[in-house]
Structure 1
Amino acid sequence: MNGSTTTLGWSGLLVRLLAALVLVMATYNPEEKSYYHWVSQNLDSLNAIMAFAGVALLIGWAIFIRATLRSLGLIGVVLAAAFFGTLVWLMVEQDIVSPNNIRAFTYIILVMVSLVIGMGMSWSFIRRRMTGQLDVDDVD
C-alpha cells in the first residue's frame, strides 16, 4: 500500500478546502463575479465557453458531492448542516452578525457549504488518522 494515498497532511486538507471554496465561489457569490451571474446576465448570447464552464462546474460539484456523501453519509451531511446552522444562529444571537446583513449571511453560508464539501472530500483520511482504521477501499 502506498503511504501517499492513505495519509493526508495539513497541506492536503488545505488544498481540498480551498478547492471547495473556489468551486462554491465560482458558482455563485454576492460580488456578482460568478458563473451564475455571468450566464444570467448574458442569456441572450450563450456560447460554447459558457457551456464548457458550466459542464466543468457540474463535474466539480459531482465529484465533491459524491465524495462527501460517500465519506460522511446522508446523516453526516445533515449533522454538518445542523452544526453550521446552529453556529449561524449562535452568531446572530451573540450579535456577531446581523440577520439584516444579507451579504454577510450569503458569505457565511457559502463558506459553510465549502467547509462541508471540503471536509467531506477529506473525511475518510481524517477518520483514519484519528482512529488508526482502514477504509474498505484500502483493503487489497
Structure 2
Amino acid sequence: MSFFLRWLFALLLLTATYNPTPWNYVRWASRHGQDQMPLAVLLGLVLFVGYVIYLRATLRSIGAFGVALVLALVGALLWVLFDYGLFDLSDPKLVTWIGILALSLVLGVGLSWSIIRRALSGQVDMDDVEDN
C-alpha cells in the first residue's frame, strides 16, 4: 500500500468524523444519536478503532517530536502559500479543511514512516518483514 492510500484513509477517517459539511459523524450523532443509539455507538466505535490504529502507529514510528515536526513543516508550507496570496484564511470552512488536511498528512506520514525512512536511507527496520 502506498503513502497515498495511507494518507487517503487518514483523510477519510478525519472527514468522516468531522468536516464543515452536514455529512459527518459528529453532526449526525448530535441530531440522531438519541433516536439511533446502537448505530451511533457502533459507528463511533468504528471511528475510534481507526483512530487507535493511526495514532498508535504514528506515535510509535515518529513520536510526539515527529508529530510536532510534521505539523511545523505543514504550517510553514501553509504560511508560505498564505504569504503569496494563494488562499484567504478569513473563511472558517477553508481553515477547517486545511486543519483536516494537515492532520491527515501527519497520520499518513506516521503510518508510512518506516517505508519513507527505508526509501531515503536504505536501512530496514527490525519490524519490516518481506513476504516472498
Q: How high is the TM-score relative to the length of structure 2? A: 0.89
Show structure 2 runs of 5+ residues with no match: none
CA distance in 1, matches of 2:68, 2:88: 25
Aligned to 1:98: 88
Q: Does 1:112 align with 2:93?
A: no
Q: Does 1:134 align with 2:124?
A: yes
Query: CA deviation digits over 1:86-131, x for unaligned, max 9?
Result: 2222222221111211111111111111111011101111101221
Q: Give the Å deviation of 1:43.
A: 4.3
Q: Percent identity?
A: 39
- Alignment-mate amino acid for residue 130 of structure 1: L
Q: Does 1:37 align with 2:42?
A: no
Aligned partner of 1:86 among 66, 76, 85: 76
Aligned to 1:5: none
Show structure 1 runs of 5+ residues with no match: 1-10
Q: Give the Å deviation of 1:38.
A: 0.6
Match of 2:2, SS? Answer: helix
CA distance in 2, matches of 1:19, 1:27: 12
Q: Give the Å deviation of 1:12.
A: 2.2
Aligned to 2:111: 121
Aligned to 2:6: 16
CA distance in 1, matches of 2:99, 2:116: 23
User: Quick check: 2:33–2:40 contact (8 Å CA) kept in 1?
Assistant: no
Match of 1:31, SS? Answer: coil
Q: CA RMSD in A?
A: 1.6
Match of 1:136, SS? Answer: coil
Q: Does 1:59 align with 2:49?
A: yes
Q: Give the Å deviation of 1:46.
A: 4.2
| Paired residue total | 129
Q: How high is the TM-score relative to the length of structure 1? A: 0.84
Q: Give the Å deviation of 1:30.
A: 0.6
Q: Does 1:76 align with 2:66?
A: yes
